[in-house]
Structure 1
Amino acid sequence: MGSTGFIIISIVTSLLAFCLAAWLYDWVKKQPSSNSQILKVSSYISQGAATFLNKEYRVLAKFCGVVAALILIFIPVPIWKGSFLLNLQMAIAYILGAIFSAAAGKIGIAVATIANVKTAEAAQKDIRHSFLCGFRGGAVMGMAVVGASLLGVSLVFLLTDDTTILLGFSFGASSLALFAKAGGGIFTKTADISADLVGKVELGIPEDDPRNPAVIADNVGDNVGDVAGMGADLFDSNVASMAAALVMGAALDQTMGGSKNVSMVFCYAALGLLASIIGVATARMGKNDNPTFALNSSTYVTTGIFAILTAVATAIFGLEWRIWGASIVGLLVGVVIGIASDYFTDDRKKPVQLTANASESGPAFTILSGVSYGFVSTLPALVGIGLSALISYKLCEPLGMDYALFGISMAAVGMLSIVGMIVSNDAYGPIVDNARGLAEMGDLGDDVLEITDSLDSAGNTVKAITKGFAIGAAGLTVIALLGAFISEVNVAAVEQGLVAVGEKYLNGFDVMDPAVFFGMIVGSAIPAVFSAMLMLGVNRNAQRMVSEIHRQFREIPGLKEGKEGILPEYDRCIELATAGSIHELIPAGLMTIVATLLVGFIGGVKAIGGFLTGNIISGLLLAIFMSNAGGLWDNSKKYVEAGNHGGKGGEAHKAAVIGDTVGDPFKDTAGPSINTQITVVSLVASLMSGIFLMFSLL
């Protein structure tokens, strides 16, 4: 079977994922919901999330329009030197990538704001039914994200047969994801920090107390940050991994003849989605009533199904077993990184418990413990990413040097093969978190709160695993994109007559070359500056919201006392978080793109190689550190709230809340946005490679 056959199979599998998503959406929507207070609060959340997304997408539409115009003029080569049609295709592919990514977020919000109501009310029946509502709500997002990414890549490649245009599609997805993740992260943490500081620390009222003016904004933030933002992020990672593998696979096919390598990319991607479809459709909570076990076992089952299906396909279609091995290495390392993240963030493990114990001595010790364990947690993840790249490289090296880098790209495809299940588990988290808040605001009773707390705790644990998985996958993807950058430079060098056909302009990068070293130093600083800009945005926005909460408690008679019929002005906090996050989201993302362009025009393609290398290493370290430290602080707070070390209201609790407040922008704003930032600069570098060859100072 040729590559066209595998592309058609990929399209059919994508459509199957959409069918399952539609069925799941319908199933969730049909579940009963009758509590008027919950429906009223849910409408606030739904309207707030829709308002934010609409405003954010309007701003991003203008940004994407400007970028598309620049692509039309300059990429892949300036329009006056190249082909107008090629540049037009590139601009259209970029716009399509952004539209697909935005649609994934929109679908996720639509189902999440319904599923949280159904999950809360289903908890009145039993935990299994409530779990199923939350998981299937998240699975709609999972199926939509992966179905859309595979469908988009398949259609672009089928219609153009041009991997450079595919990079344009990936850049559209990545640039939208960068701003969506950053904007959603700023929104959600603005509300979360403000609600916690005033509600828990100052007034000692419960987390989801309806008297708190920021409580609805906090619930809106869970959706726009953890559902829409994470969906766009993993959509981007999945598209980028396939694009990088197809760039190198197509180059190999041109050299070797045939289409075996391109076929392998589409075959494994389609089987990964099929494995996720089977995993999602069969996921249930067992008799032990343990939601964490149910979520994790679904991931492991999906992993096993993928390994078996790809082995069978490799044997039937005569594909290369070494490449299959590289894919399985990537998949297994993804699971290992997730388990390592789980160890440092699960409240049943020592790091969380020791941090909670340190909280008895005050918030300084809470912060010191979290920072320390966060740094330690980077080692197993980074070793895992490094080993997977090394093993994949060495495994495929006997096939030829170009196959070695292709092996790394296929390890990334393997790691992201079960991303449908990963997104489902990740979107489950904010759905059950919102359900817990709705159960409290709807006064459904302590038994329901106990069930939703159990589901929420599982969501927090699994969310740490999925974030570790997403960062690990991004690490392998950007290493593969570094290989794609080298391929693009070599193609452009031949076209510009810098080297003869068959020769290579770049084989790698010498770190002792001053241009490479310059790029590496600058590139390593970008993730830190990017993170600082996002967290300062949260800081400024949260300070404004805290002032607004104080104003409402001061000026609205009876609000603090909880008099019947007295409600806060929820919409003021939602408007404040929306305006602030949209104002803050553009500068940080724009800085990373401008920095890439400056390094390229100053130092050329060698400096860019160093820039990408430094950016990858520094970015992965910071992303893993912030994600795990934030998750650890969050679960330390929950561990104290469960009655340990004095329980709610004690000194340890106040210190743990402060730790969680610091960790919030770590784990939900800066940390998960960094991997998208790395992908964006890698794609900018690949798309601009021909121009950097033409114009640079060095």
Structure 2
Amino acid sequence: MEEFLIRNGFSVSLAAALGAIASALFLAGRVRACDAGSPLMREISAAIHEGAQAYLRRQLLSVLSIAAILFAAIGLFKGWWTAVGFVLGAISSLLAGYVGMRVAVMANVRVAQAATVSRSRATQLAFQGGAVTGLLVVGMALASVTLFYLATLRWFGTQEALGALVGLALGASLVSVFARLGGGIYTKAADVGADLVGKIEERLEEDDPRNPATIADNVGDNVGDCAGMAADVFETYVVTLIGAILVAILHSGAQAPFVIYPFLVGAISVAGALAGIIYVSFSAASPGRALTGGVLVNALVSGLVYYPVCRSLFGNQGLSFCICSWIGLAMTAVMVLVTDYYTSKKRRPVVAIARASETGHATNIIAGLATGMEATAAPVLFIGGAILLAYNLGQLYGVALAVMSMLSMAGIVISLDAFGPITDNAGGIAVMAGLPPHVREVTDELDSIGNTTKAVTKGYAIGSAGLAALVLFGSYVEELKHYTSSTVVGELSFTLQDPRVAVGLFLGGLLPYVFTARSMNAVGVAAGAVVREVRRQLAERPGILKGMERPDYARCVDIVTKAALKEMVFPALLPVGSVFLVAAVPALGPKALGGMLMGTIVTGLFVAISMTSAGGAWDNAKKLIEEGHFGGKGSSAHAASVTGDTVGDPYKDTAGPAVNPMIKVVNVLAILIIPLFARYWGL
């Protein structure tokens, strides 16, 4: 078996990737064949699709103009195959985002129609729609890395192949930052604007068709929660797999078993994801239990297969590396359970925020902020334990295996994430199309579960980003040694006694705060424009609130699109500029840059977990009150919870999730520029 895996390991990986893509296309056909509802429902869905496509087209033009400049710079200073890798990563990430959006729009109207039949049918259809995105993203990521690595390895050799892979990782990461930021600014500006005027000022229900920002709000779910999420997880998967390859080559001197095993981990988990999807599709359990059960099935199938593969490839070392892989699966379970605890309506933190809303807006905000801060404790403690255990078993390669195993679960986890915006859009379509109230009750219940699953995915991606960034930092150090002469290699240490390292830590720790601050401000500016437009329409055209005039939905869509694309540029380019600035300042150099990488990882992890957990908890606290608890709709507690949800929107869907790709942009770019600055640094 060892000889078979070494000889055919890459073929197995590629076959699994193609199998994932084929399965996704099969599921897409099944979803598409379902009833799309009445002509009015189809018209609303078409309007959402048109708005989402218009935004993604404009985003594509903005991103490609920046990518073209970077392509030329990378080609001139680093090499054209690295530049080709950059373009491939960027295009693949953009494609992943488009796939996420397109599938969600196809599924949302069909889920709304399915909700008229039964809750279980709506649950299964929403999950299958999400599974299309999950399988396509994983298949595309695994296939692109496998094919590009094999091509460059065959034509140019190991060193050139590694450089090209780093370019691929940078392209995917940079586009992911733009997708997460732009989509996040769009969706939360529209959501906040719609809520502030619609819910608070005019006392309109969620997704009331009289609200001019309603279509923009639903478009935002697709370009932010679906397109941005798909690009984000695609990038995380790609960077994790490439980081594992880098460490495998540095750790073992490019021995075949070490390089092949990360690819096999991805292939094995494709089979596990398919098993989990089948389980959810036929499960008779409640929606929440069925979705959690799907993750568990994926983990069990993958974990069982890891052991014989590890024993075949590594012999006596196999058990150690298998345990490292199991650690990654365990970390996925930890992130799911911890995030569920802090964001579920049934748990203490959300209930506490809802109860705090009874005493006012300020106490709601205080309770939400406290929940976000508390939510960082358990993930960070488990991440620390996972790093220590995996490193003791397999050194940095063991940590890389744990991260790869964790990310290999992306197929089923993305399925959970896309479930949220699909059910959210389905609820909006149900209200705008005038479907019976019980339909909205079904979609609201599923949307509440979706809020938790979205938070789970963000926590999962952020936790894996912390582990992946540690692997990338190790690769940075090893790459730095490669370009360091033997006379100074002993001086290449990162100690806190060195002021350059300390300054780098401070600068890196600062970066996530500046990044999230600009992201939050961007949402505020764009939301302000939406609020003014909605107020203008309602004031100038009184017939809108009476149901006698149709709002100008397209105007709000256009305003949010322009604002999101304008406001995303500075924060997206901030990590790129920061790396070059630290590298170019003579008093700082490689040691300060290394300190900056670690500082960014540490504070970025805390900031991202805190923001996403608090935002999800605020959202579900509002939904808990809207179900009739703590005063119900229209009460002072409900008004306070809407304020908390409004604050939490950019927390959980813009700034927090965007920290994940930002961390990896900093780390990947630092590895990429070492050859450019090696002579300047005096190495």
Q: Which TM-score applies when normalising by structure 1?
A: 0.94
Residue 282 of structure 1: aligned partner? 279
Query: 1-side partners of 2:583 and 2:66: how far apart?
Result: 22
Q: Does 1:438 align with 2:429?
A: yes
Query: 2-side partners of 1:147 and 1:215: how far apart?
Result: 34
Residue 298 of structure 2: aligned partner? 302
The 1:436/1:229 distance shift into structure 2, 3 A limit, reads same
Residue 354 of structure 1: aligned partner? 352
Residue 474 of structure 1: aligned partner? 465
1:34 is aligned, of 26, 31, 37, to 37
Residue 95 of structure 1: aligned partner? 87
Q: Does 1:615 align with 2:607?
A: no
Q: Would the aligned equivalents of 2:266 and 2:408 in 1 still touch at CA under 8 Å?
A: yes
Q: Would the aligned equivalents of 2:420 and 2:450 in 1 still touch at CA under 8 Å?
A: yes
Q: Would the aligned equivalents of 1:93 and 1:166 in 2 still touch at CA under 8 Å?
A: yes
Q: Does 1:130 align with 2:122?
A: yes
The worse-fitting range, judged by mean Cα deviation, of 521-530 and 593-602 is 593-602
Residue 528 of structure 2: aligned partner? 543
Residue 84 of structure 1: aligned partner? none
Deviation at 1:326, TM superposition (A): 1.1
Query: 1-side partners of 2:616 and 2:682: how far apart?
Result: 44
Q: Does 1:70 align with 2:73?
A: yes
2:455 is aligned, of 464, 471, 475, to 464
Query: 1-side partners of 2:313 and 2:244: how far apart?
Result: 19
Deviation at 1:607, TM superposition (A): 1.0
Cα deviation, 1:602-656, whole Å, max 9, x if unaligned, reads 2221111100000000100000000001011001100110101110011000000
Question: What is the number of residues matched between the two proteins?
Answer: 669
Query: 2-side partners of 1:101 and 1:480: how far apart?
Result: 22
Query: 2-side partners of 1:258 and 1:329: how far apart?
Result: 23
* Letter matched to residue 368 of structure 1: I
* Equivalent residues in 2 for 1:624-635, closer than 5 Å: 624-635=609-620
Cα deviation, 1:507-551, whole Å, max 9, x if unaligned, reads 752122111111111110000000011110100111111000001
Query: 2-side partners of 1:246 and 1:321: how far apart?
Result: 20
Query: 2-side partners of 1:641 and 1:258: how far apart?
Result: 59
Q: Would the aligned equivalents of 1:214 and 1:570 in 2 still touch at CA under 8 Å?
A: yes
2:255 is aligned, of 224, 242, 258, to 258
Query: 1-side partners of 2:7 and 2:407: how far apart?
Result: 22
Query: 1-side partners of 2:534 and 2:609: how far apart?
Result: 33
Cα deviation, 1:472-519, whole Å, max 9, x if unaligned, reads 1111110111111112112222xxxx127xx95677521221111111
* Equivalent residues in 2 for 1:542-691, closer than 5 Å: 542-563=527-548, 566-602=549-585, 603-691=588-676
Residue 385 of structure 2: aligned partner? 387
The worse-fitting range, judged by mean Cα deviation, of 243-252 and 658-667 is 243-252
Q: Would the aligned equivalents of 2:37 and 2:109 in 1 still touch at CA under 8 Å?
A: no
The 1:452/1:69 distance shift into structure 2, 3 A limit, reads same
* Letter matched to residue 271 of structure 1: I
Query: 2-side partners of 1:610 and 1:647: how far apart?
Result: 50
Q: Would the aligned equivalents of 2:249 and 2:255 in 1 still touch at CA under 8 Å?
A: no
Residue 82 of structure 1: aligned partner? none
2:14 is aligned, of 11, 28, 46, to 11
Q: Would the aligned equivalents of 1:405 and 1:480 in 2 still touch at CA under 8 Å?
A: yes
Cα deviation, 1:390-413, whole Å, max 9, x if unaligned, reads 1111122xxxxxxx1111111110
Deviation at 1:258, TM superposition (A): 3.2
**Could you say what secondary structure the match of 2:466 adopts?**
helix
Query: 1-side partners of 2:662 and 2:320: how far apart?
Result: 31
Deviation at 1:561, TM superposition (A): 1.7
Residue 23 of structure 1: aligned partner? 26
* Letter matched to residue 626 of structure 1: M
Deviation at 1:310, TM superposition (A): 1.0
Cα deviation, 1:557-595, whole Å, max 9, x if unaligned, reads 4101222xx210000010001000000111111111111
Deviation at 1:384, TM superposition (A): 1.4
Residue 56 of structure 2: aligned partner? 53
Residue 486 of structure 2: aligned partner? 499
Deviation at 1:552, TM superposition (A): 0.6
Deviation at 1:667, TM superposition (A): 0.3
Query: 1-side partners of 2:327 and 2:255: how far apart?
Result: 26
Residue 363 of structure 2: aligned partner? 365
The 1:51/1:160 distance shift into structure 2, 3 A limit, reads same
Cα deviation, 1:445-493, whole Å, max 9, x if unaligned, reads 1221221122111111211211111111111110111111112112222
Residue 188 of structure 1: aligned partner? 187
* Letter matched to residue 211 of structure 1: R
Query: 2-side partners of 1:594 and 1:44: how far apart?
Result: 38
The 1:248/1:135 distance shift into structure 2, 3 A limit, reads same
Query: 1-side partners of 2:335 and 2:30: how far apart?
Result: 33
* Equivalent residues in 2 for 1:520-539, closer than 5 Å: 520-539=505-524
Q: Would the aligned equivalents of 2:276 and 2:296 in 1 still touch at CA under 8 Å?
A: no
Percent sequence identity is: 38
Query: 1-side partners of 2:460 and 2:251: how far apart?
Result: 29
Q: Does 1:450 align with 2:441?
A: yes
* Equivalent residues in 2 for 1:108-119, closer than 5 Å: 108-119=100-111
**Could you say what secondary structure the match of 2:375 adopts?**
helix
The 1:178/1:4 distance shift into structure 2, 3 A limit, reads farther
Query: 2-side partners of 1:264 and 1:60: how far apart?
Result: 34
Deviation at 1:287, TM superposition (A): 3.2
Q: Would the aligned equivalents of 1:250 and 1:259 in 2 still touch at CA under 8 Å?
A: no
Q: Would the aligned equivalents of 1:28 and 1:136 in 2 still touch at CA under 8 Å?
A: yes
Q: Would the aligned equivalents of 1:604 and 1:697 in 2 still touch at CA under 8 Å?
A: no
The 1:285/1:192 distance shift into structure 2, 3 A limit, reads farther
* Letter matched to residue 304 of structure 2: I
Query: 2-side partners of 1:145 and 1:508: how far apart?
Result: 38
Residue 145 of structure 1: aligned partner? 137
Residue 335 of structure 2: aligned partner? 337
Residue 411 of structure 2: aligned partner? 420
The 1:130/1:582 distance shift into structure 2, 3 A limit, reads same
Q: Would the aligned equivalents of 2:93 and 2:172 in 1 still touch at CA under 8 Å?
A: yes
Q: Would the aligned equivalents of 2:42 and 2:109 in 1 still touch at CA under 8 Å?
A: yes
Deviation at 1:3, TM superposition (A): 4.7
**Could you say what secondary structure the match of 1:558 adopts?**
helix
Q: Would the aligned equivalents of 1:489 and 1:506 in 2 still touch at CA under 8 Å?
A: no
**Could you say what secondary structure the match of 2:496 adopts?**
coil
Residue 168 of structure 1: aligned partner? 167
**Could you say what secondary structure the match of 2:568 adopts?**
helix
Q: Would the aligned equivalents of 2:128 and 2:281 in 1 still touch at CA under 8 Å?
A: no
Residue 79 of structure 1: aligned partner? none
Q: Would the aligned equivalents of 1:135 and 1:424 in 2 still touch at CA under 8 Å?
A: yes
Q: Would the aligned equivalents of 2:339 and 2:459 in 1 still touch at CA under 8 Å?
A: yes
* Letter matched to residue 461 of structure 1: T
Query: 1-side partners of 2:56 and 2:473: how far apart?
Result: 32
Query: 2-side partners of 1:333 and 1:164: how far apart?
Result: 30
Q: Would the aligned equivalents of 1:360 and 1:651 in 2 still touch at CA under 8 Å?
A: yes
* Letter matched to residue 631 of structure 1: G
Q: Does 1:486 align with 2:477?
A: yes
**Could you say what secondary structure the match of 2:524 adopts?**
helix
Residue 78 of structure 1: aligned partner? none
Query: 2-side partners of 1:328 and 1:129: how far apart?
Result: 34
Q: Would the aligned equivalents of 1:490 and 1:506 in 2 still touch at CA under 8 Å?
A: no
Residue 156 of structure 2: aligned partner? none
List runs of 5+ in structure 2 lacking aligned partners: 154-160
